[in-house]
């Protein structure tokens, strides 16, 4: 009865529906229903402030607000939540007064999220640099394999049939490159060109 009279007195209506709506909103709040971590934390804090304005008895204690925040994060934040849970003392002397402040936990999550995004951006940057380096090396190799004697790709000058060091060319090279023993290109007749 006291809560209903307080609700009426504060101008929130004549029933406990406002209190029920606030409780439902708090349960439905999650990172998925918010823009980002800070928006989610602000909505939780605002909801808790509304409950406290209604009656301080209705407000969530600090540990429950922290639990609502950490529980509302999605699976991509699981490693952050696990790390924060390791920071909680496990001895018997722990009391609710030792609860980490809400915005301190939010700041830790935001900092960790920023650190992970920075690491991901650095990894993408390194990958781009490595890919650029691979392309540059492949381009240099391709240019290095361009023969200065015949201007064809795929071999260096010391392997070229036009290089006098390689003369006389073996028969298989003469047939393959259609040249004489000194690397001079032979003219093909029309019938020979059709068969090849």
Across the chain, which has 196 residues, the per-10-residue mean pLDDT values are 44 63 83 87 90 82 84 83 63 59 85 88 94 88 73 75 74 81 69 52
Q: Can you give the pLDDT at residue 65?
A: 85
Counting every residue, how long is the chain? Answer: 196
pLDDT recorded at residue 60: 81
Enumerate residues 6+ apart whose C-beta is below 8 A from 88: 94
pLDDT recorded at residue 130: 94
pTM, whole model, 2 decimals? Answer: 0.52
Whether the CA torsion 48, 52, 55, 60 is positive or negative: it is: positive
> What pLDDT score was predicted for residue 133?
92
pLDDT of residue 16: 73
- The pLDDT of residue 88 is 54
**The predicted structure's pLDDT at residue 4:** 44
Q: Tell me what pLDDT residue 96 has.
A: 60
Angle at CA of residue 70, ends 72 and 23, nearest 5°: 55
Q: Give backbone dihedrals phi and psi of 179, rounded to 5 degrees, phi first.
A: -140, 170
Tell me, what's the pLDDT at 11? 52
CA distances from 143 to 121, 129, 133, 137 (A): 33, 21, 15, 10
In whole angstroms, give the CA distance from residue 176 to residue 169.
Answer: 11
């Amino acid at each position: 009865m006291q809560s209903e009279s307080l609700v009426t007195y504060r101008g929130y209506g004549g029933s406990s529906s406002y209190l029920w709506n606030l409780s439902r909103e708090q349960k439905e709040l999650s990172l998925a229903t918010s823009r980002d971590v800070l928006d989610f934390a602000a909505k939780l804090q605002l909801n808790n402030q509304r409950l406290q304005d209604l009656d301080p008895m209705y407000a969530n204690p600090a540990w429950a607000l922290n639990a609502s925040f950490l529980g509302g994060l999605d699976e991509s934040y699981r490693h952050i939540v696990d790390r924060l849970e390791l920071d909680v003392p496990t001895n018997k002397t722990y009391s609710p007064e030792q609860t980490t402040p809400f915005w301190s936990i939010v700041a830790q999550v935001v900092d960790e999220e920023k650190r992970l995004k920075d690491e991901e951006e650095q990894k993408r940057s390194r990958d781009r640099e490595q890919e650029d380096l691979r392309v540059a090396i492949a381009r240099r190799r391709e240019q290095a394999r361009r023969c200065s004697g015949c201007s064809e790709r795929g071999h260096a000058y010391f392997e070229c049939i036009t290089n006098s060091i390689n003369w006389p060319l073996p028969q298989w090279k003469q047939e393959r490159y259609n040249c004489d023993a000194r690397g001079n290109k032979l003219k093909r007749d029309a019938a020979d060109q059709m068969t090849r």
